[in-house]
Chains A and B, each alone.
Chain A
Amino acid sequence: MTKQIKDTSRRGALKTLAGGVAGAATMPLWARYAQAQTSEPIKIGFQVHRTGIGAAYGRWYGRTTEAAAKLINDNGGINGRMVEIVAEDDGTDPKRGAEVVEKFANQHGCDVGFGTLFSHVVIGSAPRAGELKLPYFVVSEGHHVASGMLNRYTLQPGITDVKSQVQAMAPYVASNLGKKVTMIFPDFAFGHDHRDFFTAAIEAQGGEVLEHIAIPPTETSFTKYFPKIPRETEVLYHVMVGPAVLTFVKELGEFFGPSRPEMFGFIDSLEAVDIASPGLEYLEGTYFWEGNPRHAQADQSDHDKAFRAAVGVNDRGASISDPADVSTYAHMFGCWETLHVIKAGMEASGYQGPGDRAALIEAVEGMTDMPESLAHPQGAKVFNGKTHQVFGHQYISKVEGGTLKRVHTTSIEDTLYPDETDYTTQSF
């Protein structure tokens, strides 16, 4: 059951209203939800980047969320109640994000909020979720959850954070690609996480970062930044987001021509972009971090197969109905897994309604091991209830013959770091 607010027409709304009035006239209002606990759907507010710089991610986060909700409902819902996704566009804008959270809590009467990706929107929305006491499950990768910057109502149980990702990458980069690194990253919280944590991690490996090149996330042309790359660079570390990622990787190729350094990128630079696009041939032999391998691997698990089929994605990570529509495969599994964590948390706490929100959060905080399963198709994970952050395997792929081939899988231990906060000490 999915309800898309944007699609509501005025005429449709009037009809519904008229129907509601007629319905209310035939019976006393209090009788409408006589068995409220069992028949009313569980409403999950889905904060989605339909427009703005996160739109490509939003489209696939939406498809994944709908597929996960359908699977949950086909198997009987949560505590016998159906799940209803209430989607609201936040325009990838922090201010709008906070307003969307308010709408979830006050207007739609949602049980929880869910699904935000871009870190500046999360940071802008989470304080409001905390004030409204709305459990807020983000799918963002940012380190802001585990850093203690947010609050007890904000959790990230379905996707790992940047700090653990880059920390697990540094040993591989230093021992296989080179020790003198230049970093290119978007100039906002998410990029700064990359800058800070990778710089520290590569130094711990005996390497160094020669130059940090920050690029505004709304930039549309990039060549002018590249001359800052020092000549002695051995490895170029790149991560970019936004509508212009294809331009970014293309111009990077044109800049280097035939004599590029080793390159290690976060697949974010290529999310929703076909790796076989003209101009990207130079990526052959370069390396990428992948949260979840886009191209089906030789040892693909049954869970990954089932996940692809449910979302409607083929073995190349593109839409089954339109092969030119490439997914954000390395991130979108987070929505699927987070919804299943919400389901597990609601079942463990016997969740009945907004009065049980604190119990839901305590139930999720009590989780630890999440074995690989249909609910966790990306792989096994370990949840840290104190920092509200999940940890899991990371993948490194190499481009070989236009295909991303996995060459390294980190252990979960590689991604762990000491706790920086303990949200469980905060009161509800």
Chain B
Amino acid sequence: MELGPYILLASLEGSVTAAVLALTAVGLSLVFGVMRVVNIAHGEFFMLGAVIAWFVAHSLGGNAALGFAAALIIAPLLVGALAIGADMTILKRLKYDPERTIVATIGLLYIIQQVTLMTYGPEARPVEAPFNTRLAIPWFEWGDDGFSLYWPWGLSTTSYKLAVIGAAITVLMGVWVLMTRTRIGLVMRATQADRDMALAFGIPVERVYAMVFGLGAALAAFSAVLIVPIQQAHYLMGADPLLLSFIVVIIGGLGSLPGTVLAAVLIGLSDGIISVFFSPTLAKILATLLVGLVLVFRPHGLFGVRNG
């Protein structure tokens, strides 16, 4: 394949990765930013979203679009509720102590993963996309007879992949509006800035924590529902998003929403392009190297704020 179409294809593939990654990472970043909890089980909330999507789509049967639409609503709600339950029964009891919550969420990771294995099984199952048309993309060239358009082999995307990017952007805008323009967002930011002062001003901090934990998990579940028609629901699928989310959150700056989105686009696109030109392993190596460099030269991330 020629260089131009090659880069375009790589960017398109990378954009899908970036879109899903941004959603997942924003959830992780939100939880850390507001609660100071490093949620190791975040990838499992992602996986649960995909698995629930399969259950919903499968039990509704019939129309693919209907099943998918139902999954898009039900999966994040269920996963969010589960996360709120986990927050109230586990994290609250640990008083959100940073070290102990890490251990607790590791435990949560194994519990969710193994329960899924015991109930849903080890198979990878597909969810049908609501719509999926292949869109071939033309490319231009300067031939002997001047400028001409042609259709390179393999240069294409699907309508569904474009919809994933669109949906991710919409939800991210929604989160941004929620954080900056609403009362709930104000309360969250107040809690993030100073927990004790927020408490003194009568903000129900524990309820805010439960809501944030639920919202973070729901975002992961939502992005999993988006990706499951492209990939497939599998009980081990949470590992990669967790690792990549951490990379993104560290590069972008823990707790910074714009930083997280920017880092997700950076990692997603570079993963797409480097994978296509060199190898996927090199893409992961470079991402990890970038994390190392950021930690050395900008320990608070590109957009991070130094917190006292």
For window 231-279 of chain B, which residues contact chain A by CB distance below 8 Å? 231-232, 234, 236-237, 240, 272, 275-276
In the complex, are the beta carbons of A56 and B123 less than 8 A apart? yes
- Which of A38-46, A213-221, A309-317, A352-360 forms contacts with chain B? A213-221
CB-nearest residue of chain A to B155: A227
In the complex, are the beta carbons of B234 and A221 less than 8 A apart? no
In the complex, are the beta carbons of A247 and B230 less than 8 A apart? yes
Give a binary string over A230-242; 1 marks a CB under 8 Å from any B CB, 0 the rest.
Answer: 0100000000000
Q: Which of A50, A229, A277, A278 contacts B154 (CB 8 A)?
A: A229
Is B166 among interface residues, defined by CB-CB distance under 8 A? Answer: no
Tell me how far the C-beta of B161 lies from the nearest C-beta in chain A, rounded to whole angstroms: 9
Bound complex: CA of A277 vs CA of B229, how far in Å? 13
In the complex, are the beta carbons of A254 and B158 less than 8 A apart? yes
Is A224 among interface residues, defined by CB-CB distance under 8 A? Answer: yes
Is B122 among interface residues, defined by CB-CB distance under 8 A? Answer: yes
Bound complex: CA of A226 vs CA of B157, how far in Å? 13
Is B9 among interface residues, defined by CB-CB distance under 8 A? Answer: yes
Q: Which of B17, B122, B158, B280 has the most chain A CB atoms closer than 10 A to its own CB? A: B122
In the complex, are the beta carbons of B136 and A224 less than 8 A apart? no
Bound complex: CA of A193 vs CA of B67, how far in Å? 42
Give a binary string over B116-130; 1 marks a CB under 8 Å from any A CB, 0 the rest.
Answer: 010001111010100
In the complex, are the beta carbons of A224 and B230 less than 8 A apart? no
In the complex, are the beta carbons of B122 and A259 less than 8 A apart? no
Chain B interface size, as a band, is 20 to 34
Is B55 among interface residues, defined by CB-CB distance under 8 A? Answer: no
Tell me how far the C-beta of B165 lies from the nearest C-beta in chain A, rounded to whole angstroms: 14
Is B79 among interface residues, defined by CB-CB distance under 8 A? Answer: no
Is B6 among interface residues, defined by CB-CB distance under 8 A? Answer: yes
With A224-B276, A244-B232: A257-B126 Cβ-Cβ less than 8 Å:
no
In the complex, are the beta carbons of A223 and B13 less than 8 A apart? yes
In the complex, are the beta carbons of A246 and B1 less than 8 A apart? no
In the complex, are the beta carbons of B232 and A247 less than 8 A apart? yes
Bound complex: CA of A220 vs CA of B1, how far in Å? 23
In the complex, are the beta carbons of A243 and B240 less than 8 A apart? no
In the complex, are the beta carbons of A224 and B10 less than 8 A apart? yes
Is B134 among interface residues, defined by CB-CB distance under 8 A? Answer: yes
Give a binary string over B202-240; 1 marks a CB under 8 Å from any A CB, 0 the rest.
Answer: 000000000000000000000000000011101011001
Bound complex: CA of A353 vs CA of B236, how far in Å? 41
Is A255 among interface residues, defined by CB-CB distance under 8 A? Answer: yes
Count the A residues whose beta carbon is within 8 Å of the partner chain — how many?
A: 32
In the complex, are the beta carbons of A244 and B1 less than 8 A apart? no
Is B281 among interface residues, defined by CB-CB distance under 8 A? Answer: yes
In the complex, are the beta carbons of B232 and A227 less than 8 A apart? no
Q: Which of B117, B232, B275, B276 contacts A51 (CB 8 A)?
A: B117
In the complex, are the beta carbons of B123 and A246 less than 8 A apart? no
Bound complex: CA of A277 vs CA of B64, how far in Å? 13
With A243-B234, A256-B154: A216-B280 Cβ-Cβ less than 8 Å:
yes
With A221-B230, A226-B154: A257-B134 Cβ-Cβ less than 8 Å:
yes
CB-nearest residue of chain A to B121: A55
In the complex, are the beta carbons of A244 and B231 less than 8 A apart? yes
Q: Which of B10, B156, B236, B237 contacts A255 (CB 8 A)?
A: B156
Q: Which of A216, A225, A259, A277 contacts B153 (CB 8 A)?
A: A259
Bound complex: CA of A18 vs CA of B280, how far in Å? 55
For window 128-161 of chain B, which residues contact chain A by CB distance below 8 Å? 128, 132, 134, 136, 153-154, 156, 158
In the complex, are the beta carbons of B13 and A243 less than 8 A apart? no
Bound complex: CA of A59 vs CA of B236, how far in Å? 17
- The interface residues of chain B lying within 8 Å CB-to-CB of A243 are 122-124, 232, 234, 236
Q: Which of A51, A56, A224, A257 contacts B13 (CB 8 A)?
A: A224
Is A130 among interface residues, defined by CB-CB distance under 8 A? Answer: no
For window 180-228 of chain A, which residues contact chain B by CB distance below 8 Å? 216, 219-221, 223-228
Tell me how far the C-beta of A314 lies from the nearest C-beta in chain B, rounded to whole angstroms: 19
CB-nearest residue of chain A to B160: A254
CB-nearest residue of chain B to A277: B126
- The interface residues of chain B lying within 8 Å CB-to-CB of A58 are 122
Tell me how far the C-beta of A323 lies from the nearest C-beta in chain B, rounded to whole angstroms: 14
With A247-B231, A254-B156, A256-B154: A227-B123 Cβ-Cβ less than 8 Å:
no
Tell me how far the C-beta of B155 lies from the nearest C-beta in chain A, rounded to whole angstroms: 9
Tell me how far the C-beta of B164 lies from the nearest C-beta in chain A, rounded to whole angstroms: 12
Bound complex: CA of A216 vs CA of B281, how far in Å? 9
CB-nearest residue of chain A to B276: A224
- The interface residues of chain A lying within 8 Å CB-to-CB of B117 are 51
Q: Which of A56, A221, A255, A279 contacts B132 (CB 8 A)?
A: A279
Is A178 among interface residues, defined by CB-CB distance under 8 A? Answer: no
In the complex, are the beta carbons of B126 and A246 less than 8 A apart? yes
Give a binary string over B144-186; 1 marks a CB under 8 Å from any A CB, 0 the rest.
Answer: 0000000001101010000000000000000000000000000
Question: Beyond A244-B234, A257-B156: 14 further Cβ-contacts under 8 Å?
Answer: A50-B122, A51-B122, A220-B231, A224-B13, A226-B154, A227-B276, A243-B236, A244-B124, A244-B231, A247-B126, A247-B232, A255-B154, A257-B136, A259-B153
17 contacts between A and B (CB under 8 A): A55-B121, A55-B122, A56-B123, A220-B232, A220-B237, A220-B240, A223-B13, A224-B272, A227-B1, A227-B154, A228-B276, A231-B1, A243-B122, A246-B124, A246-B232, A247-B230, A255-B156
Q: 4 shortest A-B CB distances, which residue pairs?
A: A243-B124, A55-B122, A224-B275, A227-B1
The residues of A with any CB-CB pair to B shorter than 8 Å are 50-52, 55-56, 58-59, 216, 219-221, 223-229, 231, 243-244, 246-247, 254-257, 259, 272, 277-279
